[in-house]
Structure 1
Amino acid sequence: MASNSAADIVDSLGGPSNIESLTHCATRLRFQLRDGTAVDKDRVEAVDGVMGAVPQAGDRFQVVIGGGVQTVYNEILALPAMASVDQPSDADIKAAQRARGPRGKTAWLDTLFEFLSDSFRPILGALLGASLFITFMALAATLGWIPAWNQPGVVLEPSWQFINLMWQCVFIFLPLMVAYNAANKIGADPWVGFAIMAVVMLPGFTALAEEATATQLVFLGSEITTVPVFGIPLTIFDYSSQVFPPLLMAAVLGPLWKGLKRIIPENLHLIFVPFLAMLIMIPLTAFLLGPIGVYIGAALANALSAINTFSPFIFAIVIPLAYPFMVPLGLHWPINAIMLLNIQTLGYDFIQGPMGAWNFACFGATAGVLLLAWREKDKQMTQTATGALAAGLLGGISEPSLYGIHLRFKRIYPRMLVGCLTGGLIIGAGSWMLGLENGITTGAFVFTSLLTIPAFEPIGLYAIAVLSAFVVAMLLIVIGGYKDKPAKDAAGEAAVAAATAGSGVVGAHAGTAESVSDVAGASALAGTATAVAEPGTGAEPVAEGESTEVGALIQLASPLDGTAVALSEVPDPVFAGGVMGPGVAIEPTGDTVYAPGAGTVVAAQPTGHAFGLQLDSGIELLIHVGIDTVNLKGEGFDVKVANGDRIEVGTPLVTFDRAVIEKAGYPLVTPVIVLNADAFATVDPVALGPVEHGDPLLDVQQKG
């Protein structure tokens, strides 16, 4: 990506002044914006090298780049226009986010996932490179060039020993890399974290097990070696490839580091903060945190091993079906750590085989999208899918597919899950027929891609399983499509749902995960519409039963505190395309929806996510709180009205819990739609921007 593309990304996000902060993960740029409504999403996705864009709650925005994200990140920061942007620290960013309201209730969970992700993300390149060396060794053994290189007692020739060292350098010293990243993430000196973990990895540390005073004992069913140090038993472990001990060490080091900086004078920080941190943390890690980390990893590994031993068939199905939901949440990082632990303790891992079924189903779905995009001559999606498929098949990285494509189109996931199930069934059934006690295994940690297939045993069963997962997911996408239901189909369904007696109906929201009956309900209108002018219109009120003055302007009030945005900004094709009717949307800052005019409630959903109102002015109004929030089944919503209730301007309709909706990952943007717009001359937003409930929101002009 050229630097002008980096500038295009910044400009399409509203310019440098709209960017509060910028970070990145393995494949995505993560922006915290000052005003999320200033983003031109279509323009972002049209930038050369961008694979997709993902708007998020709280003015957050992600741009999917793929493997070159670090380069793009650096190019953006190098732009002269970005030099004038005040980039706050990570602590400032988090403090600002938590000050915004209820989201802070689950901040610890966000922090945990960020901690795990950022402890591993910087070393993904090294892990990927090492996995390809391992694959080469596995292929050499399969072809008979060398003996089974990963079996105990096997001695390789010096040339092959040297190649073996090329991947061992990463995995043996993995605890040091994780310690550096984790300490850096937690706000401590990363080199101090590195040094603390390095103590328990020194040859001299493991040599203590050979001392005459060392004793063997059984603890939690495992034999361990201890040696008295200052009269305290020190447990000796081989910490190579361990990841839980450095994570636990860093989690304790962070608060200690900050505490020492508070109590030690600033001019003495350089000397005494690192010294005292090491003085406390080295013994604490060696005697307590290190062993606890080993036991935590062993317990999790044993739990998964027990499930696999009980039924490899069930295990082979559950893993590929669980991963599509674990990866977007970051829950796969602890599982990756267990894979490494399995290899160290058992000599093999049994999780990566079934995981391959998920990965290849994911890549197959991307291939299906690529074929359709190529056939439809959709250049942007062709570019996105090509990059995502290359990253998957060659690197085993699923994030470009997930964030660039799959999470943007709701029709993909069900089809992809069928591919996952197919691969899992083949692995489970094949393992049972072949009598494989542990299912498909691998002797090394690898990224499941085309290049690493030789690392799995038996290779034939694994290849058939992942190929089947790939083909099934791809064919289902090609046959069924991946785009959301066309607007004309959604409109047709809404019309069917609205076919009730009377002259007007509160329509249905279709085309998303919400059912057609979401907000359907009849309005009891008869004859000429009667109305009273809404407050603030400047028009004279019309008495009940009299006809509204021809050409009169009706002004609807805002039902929410927040920011009014165009309907086109709503992440739902039915609302954004105006299928349900014209109107406006509100990004709420408050937590209560109020009636925007006097009238009657004709559809108050028990889930609290949608309301159909028949106003005295003749306007049929739909207020839809968030997108796909029907899936919460009423959780987080406190409905204040019922069908048939009389309402006035400012009557509370529902109070919602922002934290519940945001935790579930649903957008809070709230469309306000005039359903019977054909009865009026025009429906226009008064203005876009900050608005409080009761402020003018929509101008509705009677036909003249």
Structure 2
Amino acid sequence: MATSPAKDIIQSIGGASNVVALTHCATRLRFTLKDASGIDQAQVEAIPAVLGAVPQSGDRFQVVIGGAVETVYNEILALPEMKKVGTGESADDIKAAERAKGPRGKFAGLDTFFEVLSDSFRPILGALLGASLFITFMALMATLGVIPAWNAPGVTLEPGWAFINLMWQGVFVFLPLMVAYNASKRLGADPWVGFGIMAVVMLPGFSALAATDGAQTVFDGKAAIVSIFGLPLTVTDYSSQVFPPLLMAAVLALLTKGLKKVIPSSVQLIFVPFLSMLVMIPVTAFLIGPIGVFGGAAIGEFLKSINDFSPLIFAIVIPLAYPFMVPLGLHWPLNAVMLLNIQSLGYDFIQGPMGAWNFACFGATAGVLVLAIRAKNSQMKQTATGALAAGLLGGISEPSLYGIHLRFKRIYPRMLVGCLVGGVIIGVGGGVTTNAFVFTSLLTIPAFNNIPLYAIAVAASFFTAMILVILSGYLSPEQKAEAAAQLAEDTAMEEAKHAPVAPVATPVAVASSTAAATAPAAGGTATLVATVLATIGSPVEGIVVPLDEVPDPVFSKGIVGLGVGVDPTGDTVFAPAAGKVLVAQPTGHAFGLMLDGGIEMLIHVGIDTVNLAGKGFDVKVKAGDRVEAGTPLVTFDRAIIEEAGYSLVTPVLVTNPKKFGSIDQAATGHVAVGDALLTVTAK
């Protein structure tokens, strides 16, 4: 049984394997299928989110959704089975666009470096998050005095608590093996070979070499030098290390590539892994491992010296830099440094200030949620609710960042103020540290050493960003117009779906467009004359086409709205009356207007002309513009449209007909621009 409208729709048209391509226009999904002959139209139309289904020539098939079409479109593309179908803007598109603005978009090598870091950590973030909550629990128990300081040297826990303490250690102790696997796989080497190479330096037998007679202790007892066949071998603890496996994987990938060039393919399965291990195990143990451990430690000590000099520096720089580093993927090296700090120093000083950024991010999302609830924007309410839950409970900022903040750029300045407020509080308070790598969420607040200071700081970040977003809004004027159009179209589509189609009729002639009257009929009884609220002029010169003759069943059945069609003889579409542009499709094929007086209109230039992707259209207005009767909306090239085989018949529709008594055709035959085309009467 399907679990979502997106999945229902795909199943009803034969599954993802039957889909060749998918696009959408203002109200409908447009599928190109391998075989459309077996589709049950009634089954498709029975899906609650679907307003109608329209089989077309060949193997094309349209599913009418209405104003929520973009949401359903994105949900369909997000289905695992639909990965290779569609061209909608996704989070990956946004990420790529943001990266193109920074150094990653300009230098291929740098981009590859950060992608390798990202792909080395991303698959294990769930395990790190789970382990971090165990650490948070232990920290909370120690704070409450239930157990002694669990991470202090020489502390022995009771067996039960000792077992709980082991629950997080499996992830962090063996983190180098996970990183080695992921990095090797990402770079094209055998991931299990990379895993096996890194595992050698983590064996108890390897660590036991430090107790060999003649071993020399170095680095304040953190390592020992042992002579192996006359060569000095550095023996140290590789638990939780990330730089050694990353360096090892890079060298292994180069070696693997070289070996495959010289070893016949018939025996590569045996000799490539063997020779890779034969070379890389000694190289890692004698050279790469120590360089990674102590080189990383030097980086950590340098950053520690800055933090020791003034915690305020990190407390301000980190939260203000993170909103720009995350979209570019530049935060991954800092994640590695955090892990290194915990291993070499026993604590980390970066995660506290990072919490100020995260909670400012979540606060901005909360502000958007409040505004979405006020505006009855169900799509944004759903997006913000999911993003806020992922943030507050999991410490994950990506749903907020890519789902909302980078789409609505007014949010960023408000969010940065929240980052600054929280950072200053942490810095002035002397900074906060943590003994574990944790995701900065509500659940991990107890993992920080100065809980009151950290809690006050992240609360200040959250509510500062939230309040600023609520006060100033997150939509630009154009986006406000689009949001209003979306809401209006959603409402109109829902009303049209459940309402009977009003007949197209010639209106009763009246002397005034605003006065209702009764007149005695021939038999002496009174006849009610409808109140005409407005007469709408034709937006384009042409021949009037009754609604039921418009060559598209979505329009002809009145699913989208009520009105007429016009087969243009001119080449310019004008505003039919004074009002505001709610939607102006960049392709030029459709315009949504809110006329003065509350009449919502859709002017759809031609049938299926969205497929031209704007070719032959010169758009004159944008969403949010004020227009008067006769303001040009778009000029089109008839030859291009007709040559492509599309009908020029232009539906002119009132999309909120339930608010009125009737929408009536007011003309037949040829009409000039501005001639009466529709009359709208009161209920």
Q: TM-score if structure 2 supplies the norm length?
A: 0.62
Q: Name the counterpart of 1:162.
A: 163
Q: Name the counterpart of 1:383.
A: 382
Equivalent-residue separation in structure 2 for 1:151 and 1:132 (angstroms):
19
Letter in 1 for 2:330: L
Q: Displacement, 1:61?
A: 5.4
Q: Displacement, 1:216?
A: 3.7
Root-mean-square deviation over aligned CA pairs: 4.8
- 2:358 is paired with a residue whose SS is helix
Q: Name the counterpart of 2:306.
A: 307
1:409 matched to 2:435? The reply is no
Q: Displacement, 1:293?
A: 1.6
8 Å CA contact retained: 1:681, 1:703: no
1:43 matched to 2:69? The reply is yes
Letter in 1 for 2:439: F
Q: Name the counterpart of 2:266.
A: 267
Q: Name the counterpart of 2:440.
A: 448
Q: Name the counterpart of 1:322.
A: 321
Q: Displacement, 1:295?
A: 3.0
1:475/1:379 CA distance change after superposition, 3 Å: same
Q: Name the counterpart of 1:568.
A: 585
Q: Displacement, 1:685?
A: 5.5
Equivalent-residue separation in structure 2 for 1:187 and 1:335 (angstroms):
25
8 Å CA contact retained: 1:349, 1:443: yes
8 Å CA contact retained: 1:320, 1:420: yes
- 2:585 is paired with a residue whose SS is helix
Q: Name the counterpart of 2:470.
A: 478
- 1:356 is paired with a residue whose SS is helix
8 Å CA contact retained: 1:442, 1:457: yes
Q: Displacement, 1:45?
A: 2.4
1:411/1:224 CA distance change after superposition, 3 Å: same
Equivalent-residue separation in structure 1 for 2:262 and 2:106 (angstroms):
29
1:569/1:198 CA distance change after superposition, 3 Å: farther
Letter in 1 for 2:239: S
1:379/1:241 CA distance change after superposition, 3 Å: same
Q: Deviations over 1:60-96 (max 9, x none)?
A: 756469xxxxxxxxxxxxxxxxxxxxxxxxxxxx9xx
Q: Displacement, 1:428?
A: 0.9
Q: Name the counterpart of 1:252.
A: 251
1:685/1:328 CA distance change after superposition, 3 Å: farther
1:359-378 counterparts in 2 under 5 A? 359-378=358-377
Q: Deviations over 1:530-565 (max 9, x none)?
A: xxxxxxxxxxxxxxxxxxxxx9979xxxxxxxxxxx
Equivalent-residue separation in structure 2 for 1:180 and 1:421 (angstroms):
38
Equivalent-residue separation in structure 2 for 1:5 and 1:283 (angstroms):
56
Q: Displacement, 1:485?
A: 2.1
1:622/1:257 CA distance change after superposition, 3 Å: farther
1:97-496 counterparts in 2 under 5 A? 106-217=107-218, 224-431=223-430, 439-486=431-478
Equivalent-residue separation in structure 2 for 1:182 and 1:9 (angstroms):
38
Q: Displacement, 1:48?
A: 9.4
Letter in 2 for 1:399: E
Q: Displacement, 1:213?
A: 2.8
Equivalent-residue separation in structure 2 for 1:280 and 1:485 (angstroms):
62
Q: What is the aligned residue count?
A: 487
8 Å CA contact retained: 1:10, 1:16: no
Q: Displacement, 1:230?
A: 2.1
Equivalent-residue separation in structure 1 for 2:143 and 2:324 (angstroms):
34
Equivalent-residue separation in structure 2 for 1:676 and 1:295 (angstroms):
72
Q: Displacement, 1:263?
A: 2.0
Show structure 2 runs of 5+ residues with no match: 22-61, 80-85, 97-103, 483-568, 573-582, 595-603, 644-671, 675-683
Q: Name the counterpart of 1:100.
A: none
8 Å CA contact retained: 2:618, 2:636: no
- 2:635 is paired with a residue whose SS is strand
1:684 matched to 2:616? The reply is no
Q: Displacement, 1:288?
A: 1.5
Letter in 1 for 2:400: S
1:256/1:484 CA distance change after superposition, 3 Å: same
Q: Displacement, 1:312?
A: 0.6
8 Å CA contact retained: 1:46, 1:380: no
Equivalent-residue separation in structure 1 for 2:381 and 2:318 (angstroms):
30
Q: Deviations over 1:85-123 (max 9, x none)?
A: xxxxxxxxx9xxxxxxxx996333332222111111111
- 1:457 is paired with a residue whose SS is coil
Equivalent-residue separation in structure 2 for 1:320 and 1:482 (angstroms):
21
8 Å CA contact retained: 2:2, 2:8: no
1:241/1:404 CA distance change after superposition, 3 Å: same
Equivalent-residue separation in structure 2 for 1:121 and 1:688 (angstroms):
48
8 Å CA contact retained: 2:584, 2:621: no
8 Å CA contact retained: 1:316, 1:424: yes
Q: Deviations over 1:611-647 (max 9, x none)?
A: xxxxxxxx999999xxxxxxxxxxxxxxxxxxxxxxx
Q: Displacement, 1:253?
A: 1.3
1:363/1:620 CA distance change after superposition, 3 Å: closer
1:11-50 counterparts in 2 under 5 A? 43-46=69-72
Say which is worse superposed, 334-343 or 3-12, in terms of deviation: 3-12
1:616-635 counterparts in 2 under 5 A? none
Q: Displacement, 1:4?
A: 5.2
8 Å CA contact retained: 2:296, 2:337: yes
8 Å CA contact retained: 2:571, 2:636: no
Equivalent-residue separation in structure 2 for 1:449 and 1:301 (angstroms):
24
8 Å CA contact retained: 1:8, 1:47: no
8 Å CA contact retained: 2:373, 2:381: yes
Q: Name the counterpart of 1:539.
A: none
1:265/1:489 CA distance change after superposition, 3 Å: closer
1:680/1:160 CA distance change after superposition, 3 Å: closer
Equivalent-residue separation in structure 2 for 1:344 and 1:456 (angstroms):
16
- 1:269 is paired with a residue whose SS is helix
Show structure 1 runs of 5+ residues with no match: 21-37, 54-58, 66-93, 95-102, 432-438, 491-550, 555-565, 589-595, 597-618, 625-670, 692-701
Letter in 2 for 1:136: F
Query: Which has the larger Rg?
Result: 2
8 Å CA contact retained: 1:427, 1:461: yes
Q: Displacement, 1:423?
A: 0.4
Equivalent-residue separation in structure 1 for 2:211 and 2:272 (angstroms):
34
Q: TM-score if structure 1 supplies the norm length?
A: 0.60
- 1:368 is paired with a residue whose SS is helix
Letter in 1 for 2:177: L
Equivalent-residue separation in structure 2 for 1:680 and 1:322 (angstroms):
46
8 Å CA contact retained: 2:322, 2:331: yes
8 Å CA contact retained: 2:620, 2:632: no
1:585/1:316 CA distance change after superposition, 3 Å: farther
8 Å CA contact retained: 1:423, 1:465: yes
8 Å CA contact retained: 2:571, 2:635: no
Q: Displacement, 1:238?
A: 0.7
Equivalent-residue separation in structure 2 for 1:154 and 1:681 (angstroms):
76
8 Å CA contact retained: 2:215, 2:224: yes
Say which is worse superposed, 135-144 or 261-270, in terms of deviation: 261-270
Q: Displacement, 1:322?
A: 0.7
1:529-678 counterparts in 2 under 5 A? 568=585
Equivalent-residue separation in structure 2 for 1:567 and 1:292 (angstroms):
59
Say which is worse superposed, 107-116 or 439-448, in terms of deviation: 107-116
Letter in 2 for 1:307: I
